[in-house]
Amino acid sequence: MFYYEEQPRDVVINEILADPDPAVGLPPYEFVELHNRTDMPISLGNWQFGDNATAPQTFFAPNVVLPAQGYLVICAPSADALAAFAALGVPAMGLSGFPSLNNSGDALVLFDEMGNLIDAVTYSDSWYASSNKREGGWALEQIDPDVACTSAGNWRESDNSNGGTPGAANSVTGVYDDTTAPQIMGIQIIDPQTILLLTSENVYAPSAEQLSNYTLSGGIDIADISVELEAIQLTLSSPLQIATLYTLAVAGISDCSGNVLVPYSNSFALPQIADTYDVLISEIYADTDTPEEFAVPTLDLPAAKYIELYNRSDKTISLQGWYLTDLSDTTQLAEYLLPPSSRVVLCSSTKTTLFTERGIAALGVTAFTDPNTSADRLSIFNAEGTLIHSVSYDKTWYRDPVNRKAAGRSK
């Protein structure tokens, strides 16, 4: 039998159930659905699949074929899971090495037998518009599998009453008209000669690989560029130097729909190791519930708990891998470069825009450690586990008894 020679996104990651509990109407097992968009059968023999935490695993046997316009559910090799999907008439395959899908988000990749990237999706639980569906049992479905590359706007939670449509056309299928330009969301310094730019969506690789689209100060050239998922990796001609401020400008990059990036410019420095008390917990907003009788019209704090960090040193400090703890919870911080004498607000990742739209630097934290209203002990540790600062507070710290009762004010 003749099989079509596949191209990128001929087979797409089309549906994802990362959190099957509580079950709505689907089998209570994590799964990913693949869809063959073409009118030709495609051999999946020796293809590879993986997530952000595991290397892609070779798992498809040489005789596995995805029919034209067909669907295939992949999941862990559980006899119960395969029997449950079979009972629904859903074509499914249990795969040795199938990764555990993170509920909050993950990067999924699909490669053919030659190692060519066929499709990739970096999903997030923020893609759920419904907070109830975000709690579990509902799959994320791709709206338009025929776009050249996909992003958050092309996904939403299932509308099907069972919670998803494995093995069939998605309930949210439609035409995705992408008019949103990509954005640079942040800079990560991998090492003194490697910079990673995080983008808001997958970018069009040929535009992102143009050296002329980047300008770096300090007499350092961009030697090489690689693009993968929502990230652009820049290899520098010479290493960055400590205690030197650099400015990176980026322009001319587009997404697969032709939307062009708004010119971007940002300053950064090679991060240095933080000592104890280099970064302080400088402000705590634990009680956002302001009684109506104490409302102050001029008070413009977002209705979101936050913890402010202040870099009192002359170092640029990376917060990647740092830990925020209170008396009961611990959460890990994502990459963020905190310049000397600057501040950043830590808040729930679902509340970040409430601060950034007010011009407040904010770092969204998944499973944010909410500071308790009455009293708590907050501590920050660096990635090596060194205590940087700790604060034990209670509500008596409000010197004004009215403020203590009214809430809606930070400490």
Q: What is the pLDDT of residue 249?
A: 97
317: tokens are 């400090």
Residue 81 DSSP SS3: helix
Mean predicted confidence (pLDDT) in 121-131: 91
- The CATH T-level fold of domain 11-157 is Immunoglobulin-like (2.60.40)
Q: In this model, does residue 385 exceed pLDDT 60?
A: yes
Mean predicted confidence (pLDDT) in 115-128: 90
379: tokens are 């501590």
> Using an 8 Å Cβ cutoff, are 245 and 267 in contact?
yes
Q: In this model, does residue 404 exceed pLDDT 60?
A: no
Where does the pLDDT of residue 408 fall: very low under 50, low under 70, confident under 90, or very high at 90 and above?
A: very low
Q: What is the pLDDT of residue 402?
A: 47
Where does the pLDDT of residue 41 fall: very low under 50, low under 70, confident under 90, or very high at 90 and above?
A: very high
Where does the pLDDT of residue 72 fall: very low under 50, low under 70, confident under 90, or very high at 90 and above?
A: very high
- The CATH T-level fold of domain 279-406 is Immunoglobulin-like (2.60.40)
Q: Which helix (H) or strand (E) holds 348?
A: strand 343-348
Separation of alpha carbons 363 and 346, rounded Å: 5
137: tokens are 């049992």
Max mean pLDDT among 26-35, 259-268, 342-351 falls in 26-35
Which overall architecture, per CATH, does domain 184-269 show? Sandwich (2.60)
Q: Return the ∠ at Cα 244 (arms to 239 and 249), rounded to 5°.
A: 75
Greater model confidence, 369 or 355? 355
Separation of alpha carbons 362 and 270, rounded Å: 20
How many other CB atoms are there within 10 angstroms of residue 256's CB atom?
A: 19
Greater model confidence, 111 or 298? 111
Q: What is the pLDDT of residue 151?
A: 79
171: tokens are 């309930």
Separation of alpha carbons 218 and 172, rounded Å: 49
- The per-residue pLDDT for range 266-321, each reduced to its tens digit, is 888 999 999 999 999 999 998 887 656 555 555 677 889 999 999 999 999 999 89
- The dihedral formed by the CA atoms of 128, 129, 133 and 135, expressed in degrees to the nearest 10: 60
Greater model confidence, 228 or 143? 143
Separation of alpha carbons 41 and 103, rounded Å: 32
Phi, psi of 104 (to 5 degrees): -80, -25
What lies within 8 Å, CB to CB, of 153 at 6+ separation is 176, 178, 180, 201
| Amino acid in position 188 | Q
325: tokens are 């703890």
Segments of the chain assigned to CATH 2.60.40.1220: 184-269
How many other CB atoms are there within 10 angstroms of residue 367's CB atom?
A: 12
Q: How far are the Cα atoms of 48, 49, 57, 103, 204 from residue 115, in angstroms, in the given order? A: 8, 11, 11, 27, 20
Q: What is the pLDDT of residue 256?
A: 82
Average pLDDT, the chain: 89
Segments of the chain assigned to CATH 2.60.40.1260: 11-157, 279-406
Q: What is the pTM of this model?
A: 0.61
Q: What is the pLDDT of residue 407?
A: 47
For the chain, state the CA radius of gyration: 24
Q: What is the pLDDT of residue 243?
A: 85
Mean predicted confidence (pLDDT) in 319-335: 91
User: 163-197 as b/e, with b when 16 or more CB fall inside 10 Å?
Assistant: bbbbbeebbbbeebebeebbebebbbbeeeeebbb
Question: Mean pLDDT lowest for which of 22-36, 252-266, 335-349, 395-409?
Answer: 395-409
Mean predicted confidence (pLDDT) in 326-333: 91
Mean predicted confidence (pLDDT) in 110-120: 90
Mean predicted confidence (pLDDT) in 74-88: 96
- The per-residue pLDDT for range 197-237, each reduced to its tens digit, is 988 888 888 999 999 999 999 999 999 999 976 789 999 99
Residue 149 DSSP SS3: coil
Taken as a whole, the chain contains a residue count of: 411
What lies within 8 Å, CB to CB, of 148 at 6+ separation is 9, 204, 256, 257
Residue 53 DSSP SS3: coil
226: tokens are 């690689």
313: tokens are 């040193």
365 CA to centre of own chain: 11
